[in-house]
Chain A
Amino acid sequence: MAAPVIEMRGVARAFAVKGGEYVALQNIDLDVAEQEFVCIVGPSGCGKSSLLRMLAGLDAPTSGRLDIRRADPRRLLSTVVFQEESVFPWLTVEANAAYALKITGLWDKATSPARVDYFLEKTGLTPYRKFYPHQLSGGMKQRLSIARAFTPQPQVLLMDEPFAALDEQNKLLLQQELEKLWEETRNAVVFITHSIDEAILLGDRVVVMTSAPGRIKADIKIPFDRPRSLTELKATPEFAHLYGEIWNLLRDEVLAARARSLPKAS
């Protein structure tokens, strides 16, 4: 296997809290290869988002080593699709989609407009390119956020539960659209999610994390061929088997997280 794009060794992240420190992540070893889609699932509060913020360069690890290899120095290291609505309300749809290229100085008059057009088309936003975000639905805004992240074609795409705030039908559509879009670009992806369905549909690997402090509990290969369709996958016994395996791993952690949070709630 070629050298991984992302290499994490013994990464930990702790926060100072009253009377000591809270360890969110501990001893994380994780490699992500070129063209690999890695989904990370774990109970709430297991530090998934902390992990992603470190990969995005928004926070630094407390200890350990985190490398993102850049094959091409002209290429952007990473872009993020956030769970929260994060498209700029003061920019039009097309200006939002172009923002990452413009701000990083990668804008090229000859090729960039076509690139923006391409991803607007792929996310179904071409008819709305002159609109402002307040004129779009929640699902469209999240598609725009995805277009903004894909447009610069970064080394690594980071996604933090991008569909969590959407309704069930929109979520299904967007998962499927993302799967199709990714097959064309094949960027390395780290995708945080709560949904086991989503992780199996999208991932080449599903990494299961423990409850806080978050560690890696299991790393499961998803063997399905692409293109994938959730409805077809769900009908197969292999899907049911994988779902069961991941859920069994997760259940103990969710219960552990719940037990820990009980005294606080009372």
Chain B
Amino acid sequence: MQKLKPLVSPLILFALWEIAARLGWIEVKFFPAPTTIFARMFQMLGTAQFWTDLGLSLQRAGIGMLMGGVPGVLVGLAMGLFKPVRDFLQPLVAGLYPLPKIAILPLLLLIFGLGEMSKYVTVAIGVFFIMVINTSAGVLAIRPIYFDVAKSLHASRWQTYATVALPGALPGIFTGIRLATGVALLLLVSAEFVGANEGLGYRIWWAWTVFWVDVMYVGLIEIAFLGFVSAYLVDMLERALLPWRR
């Protein structure tokens, strides 16, 4: 029973929506009834196009996150551990982070063309900054006493990084991953709106041009589902890697 609780509010929303659509309270041209949307979705599930769109978007988001996330964590660790690195990079990060990454999409399209790389890079840039900021904040939040313990035992640099800095920064890194998955989806869909022939973002945009509103909604549901699943996976991973967190 307890497990079904999170389903209550969405089900009520769908029920009200369905009733409103059937009674003509809302314009079904813009807000088709949930049953219409799900019927469309089940129909689409049988098409290759549906799976190609989903698979391509997943691949773009995944590769982009790795391309931005791994360097982001490394730069964040370096900034957290070494003051000169921090002093040097902080102004750049502070200046570039608030820049809407979408604003540089045209430039990226110019540089990388309409191929896959432009999508990877768009996602990677957004993810990179989030991981840098959260990882370095994670390192800086480690209490200095833990470094003193390692130093008093004459731990080497690498031992200190591996046994104090990295585990101590993991909570910050996970906060970063959580935020980055949302940003990655946002940037990916935006990039696919304008610069793709396949993928979830492209499909939603295309549905608009041909006024297939229920297809748009199917795309939205897919993206919401991806967000939900990735949050769940990050939670699982965090529980496995950070059993020491309450």
Q: Which residues of A contact B (CB under 8 A)?
A: 56-58, 76, 78-80, 82, 84-86, 88-92, 99-100, 103-104, 132-134
Q: CA of A88 to CA of B149 in the docked complex: distance in angstroms?
A: 9
Contacts A/B (CB < 8 Å), 9 sampled: A57-B152, A58-B151, A80-B148, A80-B149, A82-B149, A86-B148, A86-B149, A100-B153, A103-B155
- Cβ contact within 8 Å between B170 and A90: yes
Residues of B within 8 A of A82 (CB): 145, 148-149
B244 at the A interface (CB under 8 A)? yes
| Surface stretch bound by A, among B72-80, B96-104, B159-167 | B159-167
B232 at the A interface (CB under 8 A)? no
Q: Is the interface of B mostly helix, strand, loop or mixed?
A: helix
Q: CA of A86 to CA of B150 in the docked complex: distance in angstroms?
A: 10
B146 at the A interface (CB under 8 A)? yes
- Cβ contact within 8 Å between A58 and B152: yes
CB distance from A79 to the nearest CB of B (A): 7
Q: Is the interface of A mostly helix, strand, loop or mixed?
A: loop
Cross-interface CB contact of B244 among A57, A84, A90, cutoff 8 Å: A90
Given contact pairs A57-B154, A86-B145, A104-B153, enumerate 7 new A-B contacts (beta carbons under 8 Å).
Answer: A80-B148, A80-B149, A80-B152, A82-B145, A86-B146, A99-B149, A133-B244
Residue interface mask B122-152, A partner, CB < 8 A = 1? 0000000000000000000001011011111
Residue interface mask B162-178, A partner, CB < 8 A = 1? 01100110100000000
Known contacts A132-B244, A134-B244: A90-B152 contact under CB 8 Å:
no
Q: Which residue of B lies closest to A84 (CB)?
A: B145
B246 at the A interface (CB under 8 A)? yes
Q: CA of A57 to CA of B153 in the docked complex: distance in angstroms?
A: 9
Q: CA of A246 to CA of B149 in the docked complex: distance in angstroms?
A: 32
Q: CA of A180 to CA of B198 in the docked complex: distance in angstroms?
A: 73
Point out which of B145, B149, B154, B155 has the most chain A C-beta atoms below 10 A from its C-beta: B149
B243 at the A interface (CB under 8 A)? yes
Cross-interface CB contact of A88 among B146, B154, B159, B242, cutoff 8 Å: B146
Q: CA of A79 to CA of B153 in the docked complex: distance in angstroms?
A: 7
CB distance from B144 to the nearest CB of A (A): 9
- Cβ contact within 8 Å between B243 and A56: no
CB distance from B41 to the nearest CB of A (A): 43
- Cβ contact within 8 Å between A103 and B170: no
Residues of A within 8 A of B170 (CB): 90
CB distance from A208 to the nearest CB of B (A): 26
Q: CA of A56 to CA of B147 in the docked complex: distance in angstroms?
A: 13
- Cβ contact within 8 Å between A88 and B145: no
CB distance from B123 to the nearest CB of A (A): 30
Residues of B within 8 A of A132 (CB): 243-244
Q: CA of A80 to CA of B170 in the docked complex: distance in angstroms?
A: 26
- Cβ contact within 8 Å between A99 and B163: yes
- Cβ contact within 8 Å between A103 and B159: yes
CB distance from B163 to the nearest CB of A (A): 7
Q: Which residue of A lies closest to B155 (CB)?
A: A103
CB distance from A187 to the nearest CB of B (A): 15
Q: Which residue of A lies closest to B168 (CB)?
A: A90
CB distance from A166 to the nearest CB of B (A): 17
Q: CA of A99 to CA of B164 in the docked complex: distance in angstroms?
A: 11
